[in-house]
Structures are given as structure tokens and as C-alpha cells.
Structure 1
Amino acid sequence: MILKVVIDKFRLAEDLEIEIGKNLTAICGQNGTMKSTLLGCIAQPFGVGRGRKKDDKKEKYSDCMIVNQKFYTDINDIFKFSKEYDLPGNHVYHVYFDKDSNIMKQEEKIVYENPLQVKSRKRPVGEKKHIRFVTGKERSTGKGNIPIPVVYLGLSRLYPIGEVDNLKENSLELSNEEIKFLKENYSEILLSFDSEEYKDEIKLIDKNKISTGGISTNSYDWQTISAGQDNIGKIILTVLEFKRLKEKFKENYFGGILLIDELEATLYPGAQKKLIEFLNRYSARYDIKVIFTTHSLEIIEELLNSKTYNNSKVNFLDKTRGSLINKTRIDYNEIRNNILVKINEENNNRKEIKIDVFFEDEEGEYLFKRIVLSNIKKYCTLYPLKIGITNIASISNKISQLENGIIIYDADYNKKSVNYKNNFKKDVENHKNSLFFPGAKSLEKECLEILLNMKMNDKFWDECKCNSKQKFQAQRLKYTSTSKPEREQDKQWFLKERKNFGTNGKKLMEKFEVKYRKEIEEFNKELEKKLINQLKKNYGIVKERLK
């Protein structure tokens, strides 16, 4: 469904990218890092039952509601806007959708823009609120919010029932299967193991303009349960609402979004871990994107270190260096030290800060090592993939390691070539960190042409083992006489024969470097920019230049 949310500008956030996991997404960081604000941004462009269209009346979804009165959330429900500092037009962000998800393959598409723009606009004079948020660049009929149900559970749920006056009590209509689901998971998350003691009659309690579930046992009633018990009941019943939506709307259910502010609030560490186990299990079963804020080191450690959560993402927001940045490739100890404001302990085994750089083959790795400046090279881990160039492009946005790295394609597929077209062109342009080697052809073809165009009396031949053009041409015939495709012939020649042109082809590459000196300089500048962007995105390291 959602791949990421990119904040162009929104208060202290600029060019901030939030990655969304397939199941769970954690947004963590110190206070004042816009965690709750980001939940509001995610909620705003989605929702069903607003009643603005004939086929989207609230009543259509009423039999799926248990403890929530709506399946949409306005950004103003989550936080307030300042008339002095939050000016119309100063809030712009984009939501990116997975092209392969079911919502993108509908005959009558519910997502009409990818990425989907959300922007603040000025409200008419006289209205209570001074800004409103508009979804989509297009404002024609039928354009607007995306019809995906969203529920936001905020800090207002944290008041213990016993501390609230004027409670209203009604019976909650649940099936036997739903009661069993509630009791079993309630017991498992709280590690209470007394599900048989819970009464089947669950109450619907209205408190502070929100509803929750009142669960009683044979020993105490719902009025005396703790805030933690109340929160767990509310979360489980909300998951049951998504289950009802999925079962009722079937192929017209495209998944849901559950947003939880301060997931761990009022829960002890053991219950916190069991809660994310529950959410991970049922987010997959009922197609729910569960996105939550947290300060819990127990939850963060579990998400980062357990293989159970491979389909989850941790976004760590940090403003300790001034601007707000998101660290998505970060270990638990660094998060712990940041949240606890502790000095990092020395760790000689700490992973080096590097960016993965990918090529089609070993020739690409060889060229990279020859032409890239040493101050740039030291930030790179090199990977020749040994698969076709179009195959690399097609998976570049589907594998996180490729998405978080830099891909360098051979020059014969660059934007000026006949090969730069169709799906390859789309895939390359969708991967922001792609670039092309200098030149007009593949490295091996460039080197062959340099040698073929060289005069027989050029002093170059005297400096090489292959000390005449005639010998070069004779050796070349060994590779052209095979039935292999021409490109494969060229590759084999380059890999086996370059040693005859200086140490590991040094003399030959010097000719290449002279021919493409300006392009090589531009290539290094572009590569440096992309590395700086990835260092900021992956590690939160802000640099103006690589030294």
C-alpha cells in the first residue's frame, strides 16, 4: 500500500522521508521531533464514511464500528495549528504508493496520483480554522481523499476509567467468535492467563467524548481496570473493526491504517512486547498498516533485533544536530544513547558507516575503482551484482538494500542512448540514486575502440606487454571467433587481456581517463551528492563535502 511519506516542508521538517513497513512502522525519537505530527500527516489523505459522496455515507460502515465512531481522521484532530507560525502553503508532503499493491491494480483506481500531494491552503475569512489541507494536485470531481479506512488512537485514550466522571454504559454487541478473540488476546498481551474469568458481557463505555470497551471479571468490574488494561481492550477491539471491514467489503477492502500515538503508554515492558507481537500477527492477516510512535526501548530493541519483524520499519527522528533528520539504518545502542542522552561507548566492532554501491558486473567495479576519488571511495561498499542491467533496474525499488544504496549503470544505457526507453527508463527515473558511468559505450567497447583507433607507431605499444597493434589484433581474434554474443566476447577479452596493457590495464585506462576527463569530474561530483544524501537518510550524518 504505502511505501513512504516525504515531507517537503512542514514546521521544522524539510526533505524528510519516512519509510513505511509492510506490517509495523515505528516512529521514535526524543520529545519535540514531530512524531505525533507525522501521524496526522499520514492520516489526513485517507478515510471512508465522510458522507461527501453518495456511495460513502457513514451508515455504510456503521455495522463495522465497535469502539470507534468513524474511519477517518482529520489532521486537526491530532494537533493544533498556530495562526502565527503555521501559514497557508507552508505545509507540503507527498505519499508514495507501492506500484505492485492491490490498490494500484484496480480497474477503477482509488489512487489517482502517485506520489499523492497534500498541501495546506488558506480557508475563507471568518472560518474558525485558518488553514485546510487539500489532497491531490487535481481538484476535479471524484478527486480527494483516498477511500482507505483509518483509525487514530491518541493520548486521550490514556485516562483510567475510574478517574472519569459521567460515564455512559451500554452493552457492546459482539459475536461469540469476537468475544473469544478479545478475551484470549487480552489475556495473552497482559500475561494474565485468566481468560476464563472474564465475563462474556462487554460494555461500551463513553468517556471524554471517546468510546472504549469495559471488560469485567468474576473478581472486579470494568470501572476498576487500569489505563493499561483499558488501552489493550481498545486496541484489540479496533483490530476487530478492521476484521469486520475486510469480511464485509471483501474485494473492495484495500487494507486499513491504524495509527497509535505512544503505543507503550501505561504498559509494563512484558505487555509491550506481547502487544507488538499481536499487532504484527493481525496486521498481516487483516491488511492493516500499523504505524505508531514510541519511546519504548524494549519495543525498539525487539523490532531491530528480532527476525520476526523483517516486514517492519523503524524511523528514528533526531534533531540533536539542528535540522530534523530520519535515521533508518541505525542500531539499537545508538538509539538508546540518544534517548537516554548518553555518550556513546567505545565499540571497536562497530559497523563502518558506508553506502552500498551496485554495478552490473566486475567491469563496473573495476571502472569505479579507477575513476572515483579516494575521499569518495572510502564511503562506499561495492557490489557487482552479475545480473542483467534491465533486471537490476526492475528490482531497484523493491529491495531495501538497493533502494537505500546507489546503482551505477553502464554508459551504453545512459539517457542519450537508444537503450534508455520503456520500462528501463521508468525504473531508473523512479530510483533517485541511479547514475551512469562516463562514456558513450560499455567500458570494454570503449577500450577496444581506443586500441583500434591508435596508430601502429604510437609509443603506447612500447609501454605494454602487448607491444604492437598487430599482437593486440591477433589476440582479439581468439575471442571474436566464438559463437558467443558480441558483448560477451568483449567482456571476456577485457577481463583476460587488460593485464597486457600496464598493471591491471593501467596504461589503457589512462587513455580512457584522458578521453573522458570532464565527464569523470562531473561523475565524481554527482556521486558525492548522492552519497551525502544517503548518509543523511540512512545514518543521519550531515555533510557538505566528503573529505
Structure 2
Amino acid sequence: MKFTKLEIHNFRHISEQYIELGSVMTAIAGQNGTGKSTLLGWISQASDFKQKNKTLLDTPFKSKYSEIFRFCPEKDYNKSYDVSIHYQDGLIDESKKMTTRLIESENRYRVDFDGRGTALDFPVIYLGLKRLIPLATEKSITLHDLGRISADKNQFAKLSKEILYLTRDIIDAEFVTTPNKQILAMKTKDYGHLGNSAGQDNLGQIISSILSFGRLKNELKESYKGGLLLIDEIDATLYAGAQIKLVDKLFALAKSFNVQIVFTTHSLEILEHLSQKTGEETKINFLKWNNKNAINQINPNIDHLKNIIKVQTGQVKKVEKIQFICEDIVAEQWSKNLLNGTDLKGKVEVIKGPFPDGTLIEMANSKHPIFKNTNFILDGDARVNHKSKKTPRTAILPGQYKPEKVFFDFVYSLDDNDEFWDNDHNFIHQTCFGNFSDNNHKRWFNDISNQQYFGKGCSRLFNRWKKDNKEAVDQFINEIKLIIK
């Protein structure tokens, strides 16, 4: 069985949000007070394991409601909260609704499942913040014989050594209980459980928990359906290197034992590490404030996540444009117009000449280092004049002539009733071409009388041409993309 989603319909400052659960590992992150630990508690409350099997530390595979939730008479007692847990049992998608209810005679809350139904019969280990109480502050400590744990102590020692990078220590285990917790402590020839650091203490509880599922799998055999390990503040008391190693070891063991691991964290190291692995098996849920309510983002951008956790604004990344050199201002204007409306706009910078005919081709074919990373856009006449030369990093404008002739021929062929003409101002075929019987394309293109109807930057003229020449436009854009690629 696999849990897929926790849906929060209504709980304090969270409304109509859901937490996606990875099939192996899930991180719940966010600033303080957003409700991370409470969500972990709701997931744990969905299950009530009925079997008598115990963990390595002789505790049941279930969580206690009283250890997770604290409801306030003033703020909570007049409210009812609703959440739903979604899961897959085989190939069937199921869900179970959990609703809080105040028992007035006892002045306490309880959780109902699907009305007055029952929780899921599924093994859970919940490691809350109580586990982080230092051993040195405990009023009493009891050391027990390892007993049945002896069979797992070698794997416990190996994992402890690898995660904490204790390369020179020979690790053994001690079974310790206090009024607040049961732990496997690390022992070496130099120190015992009283010499364990807070990180060793915390890690010992996490390792013994995941190994407990390995033992449960062996005990239940065919009837074993998996398990759920929930860890509040997984990174607490551990340095960055150990945090990453712990996550990787837990992931591998979770897959081996068919366990889902869900944890809360503030560790940027863990979140950045997991952000490279997100998918069906791994999910990151990030709770952020929005108008005094917490909303969830699933697998957010890691830079965005860092900025929120650090309470800082992000750095705007400067986009380095890819430069192309063209022959003159007309080629520049046309090139920019062709790039408008495509995903290349803003990525490509076109720089104009003037360059004499053939100069750009000589530059493109030159092996001088100064041109090594330079790209070029040639006028259409290069298709004819230089067809024998295969120039690198070069795109060619549409047509087989200079741009001015391409547009001279195009406008000349337009019907008298075409939308391009402006009859109200007598900009018609006759006035456009009447003074250019010599077919001087450049003089026609640059004529002030015509330019005022070509639009700003000749955009009106270019756009009218593009309307009838979509295939040629696409070809040019694809040439640019191939050069960039």
C-alpha cells in the first residue's frame, strides 16, 4: 500500500491545500509556523496497526494522538477540522476522511475516520521533536541488554559509521531508555551512551526505526504491505554532510523495505539535494505564507525556495544574448522583425554593419580567434553569389536578393485592393512606384514618401510580407536555432 496525498480541507490556517507524497521519500519544508509538523501528525493518525509486532526498541508501530496534537480550548474547541488521506491499495485508489470532534464530557478532541469508521491497519513509526531531548537532561537512564536487537546491531553500526563519517571508530550499540524515549546509542572503546552527541542520539533513533521495518518485513512475510516512517526535523543536530548521507541511505533502505519516508526539514542542503531527484519517487512540498494562510508549492524551483527560507529577494539573472552580425540597418530591422513573436526574442541580439559585399562571408570563413564565437546573418543574394561557399554559423535572410529588392518585388505585385495600400491618403501603387521607373530598389525603399507608410522600423511592410511568406519565416528562424544549438 502507498499513500499518495494528504488533502487539507480545513485546518487552522490551511484550507483546501494538499501534500503530494512520493512513493519513497517526501520532504515537507517551509518557514516556522506554517504547519509542517501538524501535517506530519495527520499522516500518522491515518493508521492504527493491529498486529502485535514491535519495533527494535520494543514500541508499537503506531503513533499516539496525545503526543502529536494539542488543541486550545479558546481557539479550537468550537471548530471541526477535516482532512483526507489518499492511498493506493494494489491498483485501487482509495481515500479516508479524518474529522475532529470535541468530546465535551471529557473536554478533549478525538479523530473520526469516515464518520465513525476505523483507521487503516498499517504500520507507522512517528519520530517527533520529543526525541531531541538531550540524554544529559533526562532524570533517569536505563541501560538494557540488547537481546533480540543483537541481530541488527552490525547493520546499525555500519550505517552510523558511514553517515557520520566515523572512519576511525569501531561502532557498537547500546539499548537505552529514558522517560521520554527509547534509543540505540553508539558505543566505542572511548565512550558509551553518555558520551553520545545530540546528533548521534538523533541518528540512532532514525536508524533503529528504518531497521525496524526491515525486521517487520521478515516477520510478516507475505502479509507485509509496507510501512510509513515519519520524522519531524530530520536534519536537527546533524551537520550538512551527514544530512545528505542520511537521506541517501534512508532512500535506499526505504526502497528495499517498501517503506515511505516523510519528513519535515529546514535544511537547504537536503532540499537542494532532493530537488535534483524529484519525480514519482521523491516529492518536495513547500509551505509559504499568503495573506496569513499557508499554501503549498509542490517541487518548487530551488532558488525560489532558498529566497523564501532566507527571507531575501532573488538576484535577477542577466540574460547573455547571442550576437549575430548583419550587413546594414535594413538587414538589422528585418532580422529583428522576423524574430519578434518567437521564443528567440530577447535571446538574440542583431548588430548591423555597414559591411561591403562578401565581408561577412570572409569573416565567417576566417580562422582568426576573434571570429570563433561570432554568428552572422547574410542578405538573400548570398544564396546565389556565394552558393559554392559553405559558411559556418551563418543564417541567410529570406529570398534570393538584397532585402530592398525582395520588398520592391513583393509590394509591386500587390493587388490594388490590398490592405497594405492607404487609399485615404492616396498611398497606392501609382504613387508608390511612379518615381522609380529605373528600378532603383534602395532609393525606392528609403524614399521618405514611402517610408512613412512602411511603419515604424518598417514593421508594417515586414508584417505584410510575413503574412504571405510563413514558410520562409520558419526556415529563417530554424536556421538561427540550429546555429544557437
TM-score of the alignment, normalized to the shorter chain, above 0.5: yes
In the alignment, what sits opposite 1:166? Answer: 140
Q: Equivalents in 2 of 1:10, 1:68: separation in Å?
A: 33
- 2:190 partner SS: coil
State whether residues 18 and 315 of structure 1, in contact with CA within 8 Å, keep that contact through their aligned partners in structure 2.
yes
In the alignment, what sits opposite 2:125? Answer: 151
Q: Closer, same or farther in 2 for the Cα pair 1:28/1:311, shift >3 Å? A: same
Q: 2:75 aligns with which of 57, 80, 85?
A: 85
Q: Check if 1:249 corresponds to 2:220.
A: yes
State whether residues 56 and 149 of structure 2, in contact with CA within 8 Å, keep that contact through their aligned partners in structure 1.
no
Q: 1:181 aligns with which of 145, 148, 155?
A: 155
TM-score of the two chains, using structure 2 as the length reference: 0.63
Q: CA deviation at 1:306?
A: 4.3
Structure holding more strand per residue: 2
1:87 aligned partner, one-letter code: Y
Write out aligned runs for 1:314-333 (5 A).
Answer: 314-333=284-303
Q: 1:70 aligns with which of 45, 60, 64?
A: 60
2:152 aligned partner, one-letter code: E
Q: CA deviation at 1:160?
A: 2.4
Q: CA deviation at 1:214?
A: 2.3
In the alignment, what sits opposite 2:10? Answer: 9
Q: CA deviation at 1:320?
A: 4.5
Q: Closer, same or farther in 2 for the Cα pair 1:90/1:128, shift >3 Å? A: closer
Q: Equivalents in 2 of 1:19, 1:192: separation in Å?
A: 35
Q: Equivalents in 1 of 2:319, 2:80: separation in Å?
A: 44
Q: Deviations over 1:4-51 (max 9, x none)?
A: 1110000000001100001110000000000011011111110214xx
Q: 1:136 aligns with which of 109, 114, 117?
A: 114
TM-score of the two chains, using structure 1 as the length reference: 0.56
Write out aligned runs for 1:521-532 (5 A).
Answer: none
Q: Closer, same or farther in 2 for the Cα pair 1:290/1:349, shift >3 Å? A: farther
Write out aligned runs for 1:221-260 (5 A).
Answer: 221-260=192-231
Q: Check if 1:278 corresponds to 2:231.
A: no
Query: Larger radius of gyration, structure 1 or 2?
Result: 2
Q: Equivalents in 1 of 2:210, 2:107: separation in Å?
A: 34
Q: Equivalents in 2 of 1:85, 1:251: separation in Å?
A: 46
Q: Equivalents in 2 of 1:128, 1:283: separation in Å?
A: 40
Write out aligned runs for 1:23-422 (5 A).
Answer: 23-49=24-50, 56=51, 60-62=52-54, 65-67=55-57, 69-87=59-77, 90-98=80-88, 101-102=89-90, 114-123=94-103, 125-129=104-108, 131-137=109-115, 139=116, 143-174=117-148, 177-194=151-168, 197-199=170-172, 202-306=173-277, 311-348=281-318
State whether residues 41 and 75 of structure 1, in contact with CA within 8 Å, keep that contact through their aligned partners in structure 2.
no
List, as ranges, runs of 4+ consecutive aligned residues in structure 1 with deviation greater than 6 Å: none
Q: Closer, same or farther in 2 for the Cα pair 1:176/1:66, shift >3 Å? A: closer
- 2:100 partner SS: strand
Q: Equivalents in 2 of 1:233, 1:329: separation in Å?
A: 29
1:262 aligned partner, one-letter code: E
How many residue pairs get aligned? The number is 325
Q: Deviations over 1:381-424 (max 9, x none)?
A: xxxxxxxxxxxxxxxxxxxxxxxxxxxxxxxxxxxxxxxxxxxx
- 1:266 partner SS: coil
State whether residues 88 and 120 of structure 1, in contact with CA within 8 Å, keep that contact through their aligned partners in structure 2.
no
Question: Identity percentage over the alignment?
Answer: 32
2:200 aligned partner, one-letter code: Q
Q: CA deviation at 1:219?
A: 1.1
Q: Deviations over 1:83-113 (max 9, x none)?
A: 1111365210111113xx43x66xxxxxxx9
Q: What runs of 5+ residues in structure 2 fail to find an aligned partner?
A: 321-466, 470-485
Q: CA deviation at 1:154?
A: 1.1
- 1:115 partner SS: strand
Q: Deviations over 1:163-218 (max 9, x none)?
A: 323111111224655121111100011011245x223xx32211233211122101
Q: Equivalents in 2 of 1:503, 1:256: separation in Å?
A: 64
State whether residues 283 and 299 of structure 2, in contact with CA within 8 Å, keep that contact through their aligned partners in structure 1.
no
Q: What runs of 5+ residues in structure 1 fail to find an aligned partner?
A: 50-55, 106-112, 351-501, 505-547
Q: Equivalents in 1 of 2:69, 2:119: separation in Å?
A: 19
Q: Equivalents in 1 of 2:204, 2:65: separation in Å?
A: 25
Q: Closer, same or farther in 2 for the Cα pair 1:87/1:346, shift >3 Å? A: same
2:193 aligned partner, one-letter code: W
